[in-house]
Amino acid sequence: MNLALFDLDNTLLDGDSDFEWSQFLIRIGVLDRELFEATNLAFYEHYKAGTLDIGEFLDFQLKPLSRHARKTLDEWHGRFMREKALGMITQAARDLVNRHRAANDVCIIITATNSFVTAPIARAFGVENLIATEPEQRDGEFTGRVAGIPCFREGKIIRLESWLGERGWSLDSFDKTTFYSDSLNDLPLLGKVNNPVAVNPDATLRAHAEKSGWPVMSLR
């Protein structure tokens, strides 16, 4: 039995769903461009540089969810999927996921982006298992806070081990454990699997992959 883990943003997707969701809300007038766009860009640059304060970012990213009814948010997200997210899925990414699904591997999308944004994208890939940062909910509505440990950096390892443990598994339960990622932020989890793969890697991850002899591939 094999395990296939997929990062989402800039790995399976040609772009970043977290960033693009905020840009979408700005474009449709839900968020004020002058107030939010520069901050959204700054957080994205910190993420790429490996200097992101995940607490500050989640406060920025999740607060807008608390200001609107879930029904309205779901309608906006449907439009976001049609107008932006589906276009970020490349055929090469679909083919990669489908090869693992056809081999009956346990497939998981594991992402720092919150599950409200990413669950419909995971379904578009046909992947049932999603480990993502969880927005706190009360009576079906978002509070603007995070629930539990963010699925970011070492938090990805904690969340994955918890998910596996709930099913009576560990990483050692699998013959082959593969993780596909583009980001230096995923180096902790990449170091835990026995088949780390750098996908469209940033400069830091590419250098680490080349030094370590990890495969490097592109899905674009």
Q: Which CATH architecture has domain 2-217?
A: 3-Layer(aba) Sandwich (3.40)
Is residue 132 within 8 A of residue 118, CB to CB? The reply is yes
pTM greater than the 0.85 cutoff: yes
Question: What angle separates helix 33-49 from helix 54-66, to the nearest 10 degrees?
Answer: 140
Tell me the average pLDDT across 170-174: 98
Q: How confident is the model at residue 44 (pLDDT cuts 50, 70, 90)?
A: confident
Q: How many residues does the chain have?
A: 220
Tell me the average pLDDT across 194-207: 97
Catalytic residues: 7, 9
For the chain, the structural domain boundaries read 2-217
pLDDT at position 71, please? 96
Burial 91-108 (b: 16+ CB within 10 A, else e): eebeebbeebbeeebbbb
Structure confidence by residue, pLDDT tens digits, 183-200: 999 999 999 999 999 999
